[in-house]
Chain A
Amino acid sequence: MKVTVKSWTAVASWRWMANDDNCGICRMPFDATCSECKLPGDDCPLVFSLFPHALHPEVAELPAGEPAVPHVQAGVEVQGP
């Protein structure tokens, strides 16, 4: 007997390869959106550079001139590495 797979349609869920599950600021899951986006994924990409933690984009957008991290840090406890 020979079985040939012509096509295999499979189901997968995507997730961000981040070091946490929730955004450090808005506490929403990364795989969902931040408070201002409607569609997850490409339309609401994570911001990785600011912080030890990844962030949702809108909450990471800070007013110009402000020191980036300390401002957001006010209410958030930094954990992890």
Chain B
Amino acid sequence: MKKFISFLLAAIFLIPTLTVSADTPYQGYTYNFWGTLVPSPAAYVPVRSFGIDELRCGTACGLHSGNACTLDTHIALGGLSTPTDLHVDSRDNLYIVDSGNNRIIVFDIELNLVHVIDGYYQNGEWVENALKTPGGVFVTDDGFIYIADEYNYRILILDEDLNYVRQIDAPESDELADDFEFLPFQVLVDRGGRVFAIVRRVYEGIMSFDMEGNFLGYYGTINVSVNMVDYMWSLIMPRRQRNSVLPREFKSMDIDQYGFVFTTHVENWHLNNQISRLNPRGEDVLVNLNDNVVINGDQGWRDTGQLSGHSVFSDVVARSHGRYSAICTIRGRVFTYDTEGNLLYVFGGPGTLQGMVNSPVSIEVMGEDIFVLDAQGRGRIVQYMPTEYGTLINDAIKMRYDGEEQYAVEKWRELVKLDENFALAWSGIGRSYLAAGDNETAMEYLSHGMDIRYYSVAFRRYRLDEMQGILPVILSGGLLLFVALTAINIFRKIKNKGATAE
């Protein structure tokens, strides 16, 4: 163990010189088993950081839009104004919701302008300025565009040619208050065609609608549980404060390849997960196999001053193979977790340097590249690309997810060369040894990775093997001893009998 520790220490100091120099404005890090921050190579590097007004207009410019793109060089789009959402559709088009300018800007994969959605065609007529502070956008696989048109109190549905299809208005239900205002700011459609909307000032859960736009009920509702301390406080709180204590408030959502919905939500207490994965029935099925570690980003933070407080996730994106990345709005960092709830890598940071973000609002993934939307000023989009290190982690996790642990081992071995602090790699190698039946080596690697659960399994098998080696010796020895003792006993008895007989 001591050797390993000195090795670790050496690794910490040597890493900056060993890794391929990737110029990042931030330091990659991860948390070890004990919750201590340890440096790691950067898993992702910023490759591009651009404002909308800096983009060149391509051939597809202004295809369906009624206005905006008439120049064929620099677009007269202007900057963004309080952008709120990024979305990537199945054809890798990038949708930017420019909320303050009441429009949605669409780029293709080469960042050529495709549309500026600030209106739609209705019966062949172009309706101008139809949006009012849209909050979110979602595009289904068959090309329908769902827009959370917040201050028009509706969810607008357009087809891919921007023809008006229908809209979902404020639901009429006895459940809702009389002064209820329908202000949807995030929208999502699941495989069954159900429409989910996060609505402002609705704390019961995510509102869900059927395909015709009928209100189905709340989705992802939580069981409100009151603990002793909360109850004591509520006894002495003034009524006004008591009424202002809110349950979980959803902030954003994304759907993964299985149709499960990832959400981020504000938690009053930092010891709860800030991300949930909701199954079609709306139950949280997020897996976290790590004891005592919750999925809420940083495990240590300053309490006062700049950049203080626990991480607050403003958006989450579901990635392939069970991975998900979330962006912390306080410190601009992207946290990526695997399907078991292990923290894979952390990158990004706060600031005005290229590749840093100040008030990130949304995160999206295109292939393995990650896009972060920074709402500050005129708005910027930062594109991050995986480094060799990040690619290794991604590949290894994918292989593990697909059950190809034997191929993942090579990746883990390379990872250990790059970063001795990466516990998952150690335990990955250990698990492969365990599968191969080499329990003793497995124990060593698993203990390096602090993978107690699997270490215990390896240990039990090792113990069994050892016992099987030793037990025959002990048992046969015991048997011999027993036989010898009885023999002596009998011998004595006979002797004694002989003596008494005499």
Is B one of A's binding partners? no
Give residues in B with beta carbon < 8 Å to A: none
